[in-house]
Each structure stands twice: as structure tokens, then as C-alpha cells.
Structure 1
Amino acid sequence: MKSEFVNSIDKINEVTWQSLANSSSPFINYQFFKSLENSQSVSSKTGWQPHHLLWSKSNNVDAILPMYIKQHSWGEYVFDWAWADAYQEHNEPYYPKLVATIPFTPISTPKLMGTYIELSQVFSVLTEHCLAQNINSWHILYTQKIQKQSLRLNNVFHRNTVQFHWFNHQYHDFSEFLSTFTARKRKNVKKERLSISQQNIKVRRILGKDITTEEISFFYLTYQLTYLKRGHSPHLTSDFFSNALKSLPNNILLVIASVDGCDVACAWFFFDEHQLYGRYWGCTQAYNNLHFELCYYQGIDFCIEHKLQVFNPGAQGEHKIQRGFEPVLTHSYHWIKHLGFRPAIQQFCLQEQQQMQLYLKHCQQFLPFKAETS
């Protein structure tokens, strides 16, 4: 096998990429990554220089690992700011680093696309490349769990985070889903949903192919406002959403709320054959429970109607628990070049794993479901 790194998705054949991806997920679709690059949402200027790994036998590309050279840690959701701060305190450079992830998207996928190769097989390739190119670390975020032996052999550290996902147990409608709740929790959700109509809010769901220019413009306005309220610039440009809408119309859902015929809030989702993914939310006016309705309850309704099995509404958010979203562990893997920092970072990862396991069990205690009877 021989490896090569390329700095643009345009240097990779789309047919080859799609054949190796072998999935309906929009987040490993060639057009999703192309939309990110063509819109300049990821580029050297934004600190996301594409640096995709190709593995080949003879003249055929047999595996692809989308990667980026990063000059910061924004948009990753597996936070290593404390590591960067420790390096700075010791006058050591933490960046650049090499990251395999879906930019701005904490969604677990296999990451490495290819049939005959395991993710752990590329560890040594990434390490050698970092050593040769003066890159200080590599990171593979939100991927499948890997055997501990492979991690030990390659000095790779394992991190966990907890997300909250909704699972479809063949529900026929939202009422059947709510019937699994305790009476108090069920009453609370009904009250939240009822408040939407009481505020004269109308909600509509639009599939990608039916989204108008006016609707996507309104969505981007609300998307920008969400970031500006926190003092940040949006990660994604308007061109990204326009490009994604053209290339992935069958993977996009937009939910819009309006009052007296005037649109006031949006939630943008991606979906595939099996899952719904909540991604972006914004509003021009605040209304009680509107975030819960657009970002969670409308998504659950959509999953039930379209028989989707899982709804991943995004990172963090303990408020999701009482609305029926269950805690799940995610997995990420990290290699650090600096020998002096390895012991401390390894200890950090081990302690974090223990904390995440305890946190997951703690969250499970607050799920709204009735106790199972034997």
C-alpha cells in the first residue's frame, strides 16, 4: 500500500470516493465535502486546510480518509483547548495539527472509507507523516470504537464524549412515543407542544427540493444571528448551504415557524435512509418552547413518519434527556508527538473516560420513560 495526501477534493475522483463511501449518509458524500471546500467554509484562510489521505494498491485508490491541517480547535466539538493552553504555558507550539473529522459536524461515522482496511492500519501512516511534516499531533474524531491493543501499540489515546440520541422503537405516531413516558414527563411535553398553537405559531416542514430562494435566505439570516448572539462569526458561508441544496436535495429538511404569516425561526436537518441529524437553528424573535418544537419534536415526528431509526440532534444538551433522548458514548483517537506531554495527556484521557462512563449512567437515571416491568 502507498499513501498520498492531497490538498483539495477536486484531486479525488467522485466515482471513486462514492464507491468507497458505500453509504447513504450525507456526511461522507463527496458533494458535502465539495460544498465545504468550494464555498471556502474550509480553507487555509479559515484554518481548515484540506489534507485528505489516499491509500492505494497499484494505480487504484482503495481507501480515503478526509483530513484537515488545523491552526486552531474551533468547530471540532472534542475539546482540546486545555492541551493547547498547557503547551503555550511551556512555550511549545500545539498547532498545526492533523484532524480527521467532518468540519463543524459532531456526527459519528467510520471516517475511513474503504472495504479492505481497518482504521487502526492508518495510525502509523499518520504518525510518520506528522513527524516528516512537522505536524504536532493527529486526531480522528467521532468514529467507531477501536481495540485497545491497537491503541497501545501506536501510542494512541482514546477519548469519549456523551451525546443524546432518540431511537425509534417502531412508533406509529408521536402519541405512542409519549405513552412510554411517566405521567409527569408526558404532561410536560404535551404542555410544551400545546404552547406553540397557543402562541399562534404555525410550523411547516420543507424537503430540500422544495426549499425556495426566500426560505434559504431567511434560514441563513437566522443561522448568522445564532452565532452573532454568542460573539462569533458563522462557520459556514451562505454558498455552502446553496451548494448543498443543489447537490443533496434529497438529504435536507428545513422546518420553519411563522406567526401571522411572518417567518420567525428555522431548523435545518440532514437525513439519510436510517437517521435524521439536527444541525442548525436560529430565530428572529423568541417564543416559549419554540426551540424544543422545531429542533426536537418536529424531528421526532419526521422520523416516525419516514420510519427513520435514529435522530441525532447534535452535541451536548442535558435538556434533551427529559424529552426522550438517550445518552450514548462517542469515540475519538489522538496521537501526540511531544514525548514530554504524553503522560499527562494519557492520564487526562483515562480520567475523562471514567468520568464519561459515570456521567452516562447518571444521565440514564433521568430518562422520562416508565420503569420496565418483568
Structure 2
Amino acid sequence: MKISVERGVLLKAVGQAQSVVERRNTIPILANVLIEAEGDTVSFRATDLDIEVVDKAAAQVERPGATTVSATTLHEIVRKLPDGALVTLADDGTAGRLTVEAGRSNFSLATLPKEDFPVMASSEYESNFTAAAPVLRRLFDKSKFAISTEETRYYLNGVYMHVAESEGATVLRCVATDGHRLARIDADLPQNAENLPGVIVPRKAVAELRKLLDDDEMQIAVSVSETKVRFATPEITLTSKVIDGTFPDYTRVIPQGNSRKLEVDASEFAKAVDRVATVSSERSRAVKLALDEDRLVLSVNAPDSGAAEEELAVAYSDERLEIGFNAKYLLEIAGQVDRENAVFMFNSAQDPTLMREGNDQSAVYVVMPMRV
């Protein structure tokens, strides 16, 4: 194999691949990227056995072929090469070495046989549809903060993507929860997505998917089966196993009868929470909200470190209410608001609180209160 690729193109392709590779591997081949050159393209394939990413790039292919080399080492070399350099990758197919040349730089890297590289078995996908990158970006970006990190509740370690009914319309919905907070985001159902089986997309796959969604003009081909999910652009294909578990009935957690309404400038609210939380104890990070007629007082009282209080002008006309929250959860939820106003709906100091962005019903957040 012998190919020449522009440094910037190579860096992007190898960077996408090496981010999937686990740092500590018991199987040496999993630390490698599979390079396959044919025609006028080269593909870089990496996997951790749960996720596989394939990135295709344009290249001058002098000799077609395939080999595997350390993903991290190749990425570091390409990263340190000068901008605009033409990089040549070559192996003679026998010596177990890949040479990397650019200008006066020359590297020789150990390779492993391409036959040993595990390629994820292709799946029969039950649902195939196309969605615009901004739609998927919104669904996953606004829900992923609520993914649980508790390994024992593995079925909460991802975003539940499924088809749901909302106010008489069928929508594509993403939900994540860790038991303390919940995010439920809806988008118009893409064409041909009606038969989508509900799947839990793992946390790592959600993070890798984000890299495919930066181009607002891009259309993403989505394929889903009971065991796998695949997101593809013309250059990159990301395939992931889905979490084998049942996502809990989240609808029971979303409060329906909360009637006390608080409307507040989302950005001002987030900044105020952040300021008063500075003195809260690291363990609880508790902040108290005291609500009265058009007035919100945020306060923290931490015996070990001090106290803080800040008042905000808000729209609130119900009876007085005092309720406590984890400051981190409040900040993460307030950080999802794209519109000017955040609307909180309360019931009592013990019940879950619902939050949405203005009058938009397509993004709903729930946060559990805590004693303060």
C-alpha cells in the first residue's frame, strides 16, 4: 500500500478514528486503526467492539492495500506535522512496518495484520431514515446532560431514542434521566421513521455522534435495529451497539398537575445560581429558592464555608414557596434554554419540578428537589 494525503484531511480522519480507541486495551489490535486504500479514497476504521467508526478521505492511491497501525501514535505524528504538508503512508506488505513521510520527516511504525482486525458485523436494520444534522444535534445535546453515570443502572447510561405521541402528533423523542433529573426532547418525525424501534444509544456513542453534527447543511442517514444504531454522512459512518435493557416508563415521572408558575430570565437565573453556589459545600451543593410575589431569593447557607443570598425580579403570582435543589442540576437545566425565558412549574417543596423554555412544549425538563 502506498498513498499520499493532505495533512489536514488526514488529521481529521485519523482524529475521528482514534477517539473511539480505548486507551487501555487487553487486545492489542483494538489500539490500532485499519487503513484501507482503494481507487482514489482511503478509509480509517477503528473499534472498541461496541462502537465502530469509519472515516473516508480523498487520497492519491499509488498502491492499493490495507494495514493496521497504532491509532494514537499515527494521530500524534500527523498532529505535529506542518500545515499543508503532503503525507505519504507506505508499507511493502511484508516487513510489518508502515512508513510515514512528510517533507524531511520520516517515521517507521509497527503494524499488525489486517486479518486480525475485528470488523463489526453488518446488521439488518428495521428502520432507515434521514434527519437534518441540526435536528439530531438538538435532540442529543439537550438530553445528554441527564445521562446516568451509575454503572449499576446500565439501562440509564444512554439516551433513549424512540417514536412517541405528543399532543396528537407523532414525534421523534430523545429522553435521558439519572433519577435526579430528566430531559425529554421532541422533534418532528422524519419521513420513514415510523417503524423505529425504541433504542438506548450509549453515552460514548452520543459523544462520538456529536462530531458528525456540526455542519448545519448535512443530512444524516440513520439506521436502527434492535441491537445496533448507525449514523452516516458521505464521509463518516458511526455504528454502535445499543444498550441491552429496558428504559423505565419516564412518563410517570413527568408531573402533570404542577400549577405554581415561575417565569425568569434563563441567563440571569443561571448566573445567580452560579454565584450563590460558590459558598455551598461540595458534597450537597444545595441552593434554596424562596418565591414570593414577583420576587425570587436564592440563598445558600453552608456552616463550614459561609452564606450567600441574591434576589431576582421574576414573574410569580402564586402563594409563597421555599424549595431546595442541587445547584449543579439547576445550572445544567438552565444551560439548555435557548430562549430568553425559563418557565418553572412547581407543586410543593417535596414534588418534582418541571421546567420548559418559554411556551415551547417540545423540550421538557424535570428536576427533583432536595431538603435544605
Shorter-chain TM-score tier: under 0.3
Whichever structure has more strand as a proportion of its residues is 2
Q: TM-score, normalised by structure 1?
A: 0.27
Higher radius of gyration, 1 or 2:
2
Q: TM-score, normalised by structure 2?
A: 0.27
